[in-house]
Structure 1
Amino acid sequence: MTETLALPTDDTDPFGPEALEDPAELHATLREAGPVVYLTRYGVYAVARYKHVRAALVDWQDFQSAAGVGLSNFRYERPWRAPSLLLEADPPHHDAPRRVLSGILGPRALRRLREQWFAVADELVGRVLAEPEFDAVPALAEAFPLRVFPDAVGIGREGRENLLPYGDFAFNAFGPGNDLVNRAAPDVPRLSRWVDRQCAREALAADGFGARIWAAADRGDITPDQAPLVVRSLLTAGVDTTVHGLAAVLYAFATNPGQWQRLRERPALTRAAFDEAVRWQSPVQTFFRTATTDTRIGGTTIPGGGKILMFLGAANRDPRRWDRPDEFDLDRDPSGQVGFGMGLHQCVGQHVARLEAEALLTALAHRVTRFELTGPPRRHHNNTLRAWESLPMRARVA
């Protein structure tokens, strides 16, 4: 006999200013309420415990992405742009684009960029540290990805300032049509036109990620119609997420100076430090799935077509999975954190983000003995991202 649990409900707005500023209280409430909570404000089912978030992420058969990974249900609503072939598709449509991009962005393929990115990071850090105080968000967390990643994709220098607001809108659009969406909407047609132009074969340098995607189309690995959409996926999700991941790890070390000393003593910890910061702050806070049929989670039946809101940030601090989850700790093994997703749709660019973090942290560790916040950090609200506006800092230089 299958036990059916009473379904708890909650009227809190997870996309409201209070929750976006500090979601910890909401996350704890949802985790303790039960395996599934019905969010009455939006008519969706929420999962916040690690066990159930991870299970929903890996089970693409029962929890599809093709109906949209945001609140909008593509079964009934038209998306604001052509769906992503990586995020918003399931097998078999997802397979070929994913296979192509995994090869282009895999650890082995990225080795050729390592020396160059470390040199760029060293130059940038030297320039930033020439000033006694700086804002780590624009000076480091934004500046470094906006330099190396578009270069690697193969787009030109002109117009790169469009990448952050375009990505910011794309992640906002996964949530409801609130003020965050409405304020940016008038500029979206212009931003979209610019991004679309960068995805064309003729706009891309001959030796970048973008050209390799088009070469895959020439080989027949993907179609010519798919190629620009795969390039667009890089430009949409490849900057903002890394920016806020880098800001998270810089914030972690500014508020945990003992952990920074450990990293300086053991430089091999740089990648683990980035993963721990992703677990601790979860730059990507939420994603949705849609139940393909009536499907059970922890004693609750999700009806076919029902939207499931997965709280990745809550799962990454679930005390059922993590010891002392609210602490940033380099002694922790952060593997298993769901900040990059999990399963078939796990972030295909995570190795790129880790290499960027390794390069930047290595350059900083060579020079900086201690970070200190010189003012209150400010959050940037986004419906999907745990984002930063400002991190005013002073760096003590060796």
Structure 2
Amino acid sequence: MTEIWKRAAVPPVSDADPFAHEALLDPEPLHQALRVAGPVVYLSRYDVHALARYQQVHAALVDWQRFESGSGVGLANFRHEEPWRPPSLLLEADPPRHDAPRRVLREILAPPALRRLCETWQTLAEELVDQVLAEGPEFDAFTALAQAFPLRAFPDAVGLGPDGREHLLPYGNMAFNAFGPRNDLVAADAHRVAELSAWVNAQCAREALSEDGFGARIWGAADRGDLTYEQAPLVVRSLLTAGVDTTVHGLAACLYAFATHPGEWQRLRERPELARSAFDEAVRWQSPVQTFFRTATTAVTLAGTVVPAGTKILMFLGAANRDPDRWHDPDRFDLTRDPSGHVGFGMGIHQCIGQHVARLEAEALLTALAGRVERIELTGTPHRHPNNTLRSWASLPVRVRRARRDTARPMSS
């Protein structure tokens, strides 16, 4: 990694709390302040070094040798603290421990498998949109669409049975809260940790999964010796943890973007092939995953600041995705923008393995909507749900005007 300055510098110090409710619900003011303060800022409340500019966030994400994930991607340091659950073999592991699980999932989630899902998910999205529109022009787009579609499509693809899926979002909320400090949000989940963990772990067992889903293929990799039988359920769990909440809140970000940018909705209706790019632009603009931590494996000079070995580094993905030094007019949702390079899915070897699955889900839902809905507008104030890591939604009240005729087109494969 190229150092910006050669001489060590003392970073600016901030006592800001990025995990306070007001910062979680409205993070942009803090993000701007951190970017202005410097390339590295010391957060005194948590004894961590913070990165909020794109250049430094990107550099830390791709440099897994010096900024490791294996000590935990939350505030807790697994070198000194016992994790609350067995660490993720994808998110919280580095090579060589990370290699086999990622290789297996990369093969399972390869383009041929996604092409087979394309028609199924398009049909499912059209059925859901028709059902929602039949109930009236006003509805909560978060629960009716952004939440409902991934909770049906993705668990089906993994091979989960129909019962108990309502546990997936509470479990994800708990898991992503756990990456932050042990604050009131973590305490609020404490009474359900055992129940939710037990349910999710049970779904990762081979006998709980259908024979034709992603989960069964993970267990098949263990049969071939590509994974151990101890690793297989942890890989299924990683898929379930990372594959639902982030897509739900990414889709909600899309719907919020189009409800507040009517010109961009018309652009999508005229060019439905922009659906995948629209999802990426919404992920850049809203960043469903706001923060992740890394741990310095050695003393590292980053932008002139020496980060001591064993120190936690807090990367503000949401701030990097709105860095004006990287993006023109970054606070605008803009379908003419090329959003590639955003860090909303991470970067480097730990980049989200399921991002193409999320794009396919978004394309299915947005294409179905674009062919049936002429206009989307807010009917009230959207409400966020505070989470230590996610930019979460609680409600998104909208009114839609139906198109005079159905202009839906097939998705690209």
Q: Please, what TM-score do these two structures have when normalized by structure 2? A: 0.96
Matched with 1:69 is 73
Matched with 1:267 is 272
How far is 1:6 from its partner?
2.4
How far is 1:237 from its partner?
1.1
How far is 1:235 from its partner?
1.1
Matched with 1:329 is 334
Which segments of structure 1 move beyond 6 Å, counting only runs of 4 or more? Answer: none
Secondary structure class of the residue paired with 1:56:
helix
In the alignment, the residues of structure 1 paired with residue 44 and residue 211 of structure 2 have an alpha-carbon distance, to the nearest angstrom, of 51
In the alignment, the residues of structure 2 paired with residue 296 and residue 203 of structure 1 have an alpha-carbon distance, to the nearest angstrom, of 48
Matched with 1:366 is 371
Q: How big is each residue's C-alpha offset from its partner over 1:153-191, in whole Å with a ceiling of 9 and x where there is no partner? A: 001111100000000000000000111110111111000
Matched with 2:181 is 176
Question: What pairs up with 1:197-346 in 2 under 5 angstroms?
Answer: 197-346=202-351
How far is 1:103 from its partner?
1.1
Q: How big is each residue's C-alpha offset from its partner over 1:179-222, in whole Å with a ceiling of 9 and x where there is no partner? A: 11101111110000000110011110000000000000000111
In the alignment, the residues of structure 2 paired with residue 132 and residue 263 of structure 1 have an alpha-carbon distance, to the nearest angstrom, of 20
In the alignment, the residues of structure 2 paired with residue 6 and residue 200 of structure 1 have an alpha-carbon distance, to the nearest angstrom, of 50
Which one-letter code corresponds to 1:15 in the other structure? F
In the alignment, the residues of structure 2 paired with residue 317 and residue 252 of structure 1 have an alpha-carbon distance, to the nearest angstrom, of 15
RMSD: 0.7
Q: How big is each residue's C-alpha offset from its partner over 1:306-362, in whole Å with a ceiling of 9 and x where there is no partner? A: 000000000000000000000000010000000000000000000110000000000
In the alignment, the residues of structure 2 paired with residue 2 and residue 281 of structure 1 have an alpha-carbon distance, to the nearest angstrom, of 34
How far is 1:108 from its partner?
2.5
How far is 1:5 from its partner?
1.9
Secondary structure class of the residue paired with 1:254:
helix
In the alignment, the residues of structure 2 paired with residue 41 and residue 105 of structure 1 have an alpha-carbon distance, to the nearest angstrom, of 40
The answer to whether structure 1 residue 28 and structure 2 residue 28 are counterparts is: no
Out of 97, 114, 119, the residue aligned to residue 123 of structure 2 is: 119
In the alignment, the residues of structure 1 paired with residue 82 and residue 42 of structure 2 have an alpha-carbon distance, to the nearest angstrom, of 25
Matched with 2:198 is 193
In the alignment, the residues of structure 1 paired with residue 109 and residue 51 of structure 2 have an alpha-carbon distance, to the nearest angstrom, of 31
How far is 1:106 from its partner?
2.3
Out of 78, 93, 106, the residue aligned to residue 110 of structure 2 is: 106
Which one-letter code corresponds to 1:2 in the other structure? K
In the alignment, the residues of structure 2 paired with residue 62 and residue 107 of structure 1 have an alpha-carbon distance, to the nearest angstrom, of 32
Which one-letter code corresponds to 1:24 in the other structure? E
Matched with 1:81 is 85
Matched with 1:91 is 95
How far is 1:37 from its partner?
0.3
Secondary structure class of the residue paired with 2:42:
strand
In the alignment, the residues of structure 2 paired with residue 194 and residue 378 of structure 1 have an alpha-carbon distance, to the nearest angstrom, of 28
Aligned residues: 398
Question: Which consecutive residues of structure 2, in runs of 5 or more, have no partner in the other structure?
Answer: 404-413
Matched with 2:152 is 147
In the alignment, the residues of structure 2 paired with residue 372 and residue 97 of structure 1 have an alpha-carbon distance, to the nearest angstrom, of 43
Q: How big is each residue's C-alpha offset from its partner over 1:9-31, in whole Å with a ceiling of 9 and x where there is no partner? A: 10010000110110111001110
Which one-letter code corresponds to 2:336 in the other structure? D
Which one-letter code corresponds to 1:306 in the other structure? T
The answer to whether structure 1 residue 390 and structure 2 residue 395 are counterparts is: yes
Matched with 2:411 is none
> Does structure 1 conserve the Cα–Cα contact (< 8 Å) formed by 2:9 and 2:306?
no
The answer to whether structure 1 residue 354 and structure 2 residue 346 are counterparts is: no
Q: How big is each residue's C-alpha offset from its partner over 1:68-95, in whole Å with a ceiling of 9 and x where there is no partner? A: 0000000000000000000000000000
In the alignment, the residues of structure 1 paired with residue 279 and residue 287 of structure 2 have an alpha-carbon distance, to the nearest angstrom, of 11
Percent identical residues: 73
Secondary structure class of the residue paired with 2:87:
coil
Secondary structure class of the residue paired with 1:3:
coil
How far is 1:105 from its partner?
1.4
Question: Which consecutive residues of structure 1, in runs of 5 or more, have no partner in the other structure?
Answer: none
Secondary structure class of the residue paired with 2:145:
helix
